[in-house]
């Protein structure tokens, strides 16, 4: 199946693994790329050295195109972006910040830059900055989706640009792929579906919880990490979204995370706190999100942990290998496309 995105990136299928923190790790990234899609490494929890190691590990597992995701507002993200540029990663996925310097550096070696956006205003800014494509994140998505559903946001952004669009939010199978193409997208990102794959580092009990949950069993709130965020409805999800996050709580959670995870987040938190209001947001992310996410993903602790998940959890019914998921998605997409073509005759 050829689209503007597959032709631009040289990939076989219009299917993308988005850069989900603690999930989009090298083995899963490489598996998606090897299966014909595009895997995007999550760099948010990585030091520059760990980011370089992860990039090289992916290259040891596949010779297919892959990407690195960098949320530029977060502490340490710019350093990881520089590492990705030094390693000449084929695709850099930027979000949450101005990335003109990333675009210029990537284009210098023939790389592509894709911006993640969740509203029309941010889409316009990204388009004007010179990006090569967009991940358009609808309200249904895990984590930081916008206020507008994919059904409306994708065609609205398509009316603004001819750039390749990756639709994110509510897509988990071949039916969704064809629907996204009909709305004007050129590919789909399937975070929740790939998070429950065999190659995903998510704990098996958390994967089973995804299978057990219905589509409506999520919470959309800005109380988790100060940005509107969709999480699974669990005891932890309810507790962490029950009230607005305060700076003292954010700082306390940052220090707790640094101690428990044995990471250099204390220095990152100090760096963030020296940057005023924007820095406070960064601290809130690291404090409120990092440890809680890891507990849910790696330990299946859904009392102290929080699982970021999309409404498409209601469409996930088994744990399967990445290769099997991609094969099934494409087979179903071809079947749906054939039925639609027959209806048009």
Q: Indicate if 49 and 133 belong to the same structural domain.
A: yes
Note whether residue 88 is domain-resident. yes
Minimal CA–CA distance to 169: which of 155, 157, 156, 154? 154
Q: Say if 309 falls within a structural domain.
A: no
Q: Residue written as tokens 């990136």? A: 9
83 with 167, same domain: the answer is yes
3-state secondary structure 262-306: CCCHHHHHHHHHCCHHHHHHHHHHHHHHHHHHHHHHHHCCCCCCC
Is residue 35, in this structure, part of any structural domain at all? yes
Question: Are 92 and 135 a contacting pair, CB within 8 Å?
Answer: no
**How many domains is the chain partitioned into structurally?**
2
55 and 90 in a common domain:
yes
Q: Is the distance from CB of 82 to CB of 111 less than 8 angstroms? A: no
Instruction: Answer yes or no: is 204 within a domain.
Output: no
Is 61 part of a structural domain of the chain?
yes
Residue 212 to residue 214: CA distance in whole angstroms: 7
In this structure, the answer to whether residues 59 and 178 fall within a common structural domain is yes
The whole-angstrom separation of Cα 62 and Cα 281 is: 36
Whether residue 249 sits in one domain with residue 123: no
27: containing domain: 4-198+319-344
List, in sequence order, every beta strand (DSSP E) within 239-314.
none
Same domain, 124 and 266: no
209, 303 in Cβ contact below 8 A? no
Residue 223 falls inside a structural domain: yes
Compute the CA torsion angle 28, 33, 38, 43 (nearest 10 deg): 40
**Domain co-membership, 270 together with 149:** no
**144: nearest Cα among 113, 167, 168:** 168
* Same domain membership, residue 146 and residue 12: yes
Task: Say if residue 162 is in the same domain as residue 286.
Answer: no
Regions in the chain scoring below 70 on pLDDT? 245-288
CATH for 86 = 3.20.20.70
Same domain, residue pair 194 and 237: no
Q: Is 308 helix (H, G, I), strand (E, B) or coil?
A: strand
DSSP string computed for 222-252: STTTSS-EEEE-SHHHHHHTSSPPPHHHHHH
85/137 same-domain check: yes
User: In this structure, is residue 207 part of a structural domain?
Assistant: no
Whether residues 167 and 19 fall in one domain: yes
Classify residue 128: in a domain, yes or no. Answer: yes
């Amino acid at each position: 199946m050829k689209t503007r995105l597959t032709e631009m990136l040289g990939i076989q299928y219009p299917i993308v693994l988005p850069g989900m923190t603690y999930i989009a790790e090298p083995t899963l990234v490489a598996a998606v790329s090897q299966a014909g899609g595009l895997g995007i490494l999550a760099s948010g929890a990585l030091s520059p050295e760990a980011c370089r190691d992860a990039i090289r590990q992916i290259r040891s597992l596949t010779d297919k195109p892959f990407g690195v995701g960098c949320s530029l507002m977060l502490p340490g993200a710019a350093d990881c972006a520089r590492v990705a540029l030094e390693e000449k990663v084929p695709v850099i996925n930027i979000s949450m910040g101005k990335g003109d310097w990333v675009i210029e550096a990537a284009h210098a070696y023939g790389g592509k830059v894709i911006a993640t956006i969740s509203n029309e205003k941010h889409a316009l800014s990204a388009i004007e900055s010179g990006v090569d494509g967009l991940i358009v994140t609808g309200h249904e998505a895990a984590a930081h989706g916008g206020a507008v559903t994919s059904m409306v946001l994708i065609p609205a952004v398509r009316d603004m640009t001819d750039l390749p669009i990756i639709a994110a939010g509510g897509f988990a199978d071949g039916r969704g792929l064809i629907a996204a193409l009909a709305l004007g997208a050129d590919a789909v990102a399937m975070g929740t579906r790939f998070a429950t794959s065999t190659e995903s580092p998510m704990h098996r009990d958390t994967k089973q919880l995804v299978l057990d949950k219905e589509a409506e069993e999520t919470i959309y709130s800005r109380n988790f990490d100060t940005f509107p965020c969709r999480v699974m409805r669990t005891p932890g999800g309810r507790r962490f979204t029950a009230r607005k996050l305060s700076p003292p709580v954010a700082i306390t959670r940052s220090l707790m995370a640094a101690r428990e995870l044995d990471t250099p987040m204390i220095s990152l938190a100090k760096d963030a706190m020296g940057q005023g209001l924007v820095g406070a947001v960064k601290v809130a992310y690291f404090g409120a999100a990092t440890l809680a996410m890891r507990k849910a993903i790696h330990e299946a602790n859904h009392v102290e942990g929080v699982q970021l998940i999309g409404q498409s959890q209601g469409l996930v019914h088994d744990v399967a290998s990445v290769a099997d998921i991609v094969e099934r998605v494409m087979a179903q997409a071809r079947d749906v496309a054939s039925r639609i073509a027959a209806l048009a005759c």
